[in-house]
Homo-oligomer: A and B are copies of this chain.
């Protein structure tokens, strides 16, 4: 991937929405590209926070090890998405999660102090950041509600719809962008439970074979996943799959 393409994906990040090309140029001068081969660790929980990151290529897993030896994936971040921005802002000095490359990745990193300075200097940048973090907070709330209220199969159905939206996949027929083990960890369930949940979804017009998924009746899946979910159109799973709004994280910014 050439330098040009990289900067294009980075430039489209919601973080820079509304900035002029020149402003973005100025910002990007402060970031450095960093190559991260598959499986390598970017930082571990407990490390000091020194950078904030933006993904130019690849997928990063954010996860946390628990005292009892388990591991929960907090998030799986993709091209154009920033991460660690909320860690930077909320006053902790050390990472509360670890980050590993799921596949060969390329990230752009910005020093923390630079971020804080930029916030003070650029209105728009600060507003974008507020937006992004607010949305994260909302999604996390949704997540907590789902965990408390929905069955494993519902969580999976919901997550698949979210995946389609995020990666711009055709829900009729798509391939999972990463392993089932990772998805199960992301959903906070056992791999065995995940596997069985897929079995149950066969009755709901969603079939899988290997990493390939087909949703035959999207209406039904939407209904099934979120009958126990209170989000209606605010639920990630419900964000209109037909809308052409592009990846979800690019939307919903403050308009004025």
Contact = CB atoms under 8 A, between A and B. Distances in A.
Nearest to A143: B144
A120 B121 CA distance: 11
A218 to B, nearest CB: 17
Query: Could you say how many copies of this chain the assembly holds?
Result: 2
Contacts of A147: 144, 147-148, 188
Nearest to A230: B66
Most buried by B among A138, A143, A189, A255: A138
Most buried by B among A64, A126, A148: A148
Contacts of A148: 72, 147, 187-189
Contacts of A216: none
B231 A96 contact: yes
Contacts of A189: 148
Interface stretch (A3-11, A86-94, A174-182, A198-206): A86-94
A256 to B, nearest CB: 8
A229 B67 contact: yes
Contacts of A129: 130
Contacts of A135: 90-91
Interface in A99-143: 116, 119-120, 123, 126-127, 129-131, 133-138, 140-141, 143
Given A72-B145, A72-B230, A147-B188, 10 more contacts: A66-B228, A67-B228, A68-B228, A89-B131, A90-B252, A96-B231, A116-B254, A126-B126, A137-B137, A149-B188
26 contacts: A66-B149, A66-B229, A67-B227, A67-B232, A68-B228, A72-B230, A74-B145, A89-B130, A89-B131, A90-B131, A90-B138, A91-B131, A91-B253, A91-B255, A96-B138, A119-B130, A120-B127, A130-B130, A136-B137, A137-B140, A140-B143, A144-B147, A144-B188, A147-B147, A147-B148, A147-B188
Interface of A: 64-68, 70, 72, 74, 86-87, 89-92, 96, 116, 119-120, 123, 126-127, 129-131, 133-138, 140-141, 143-145, 147-149, 187-189, 226-232, 234, 251-255
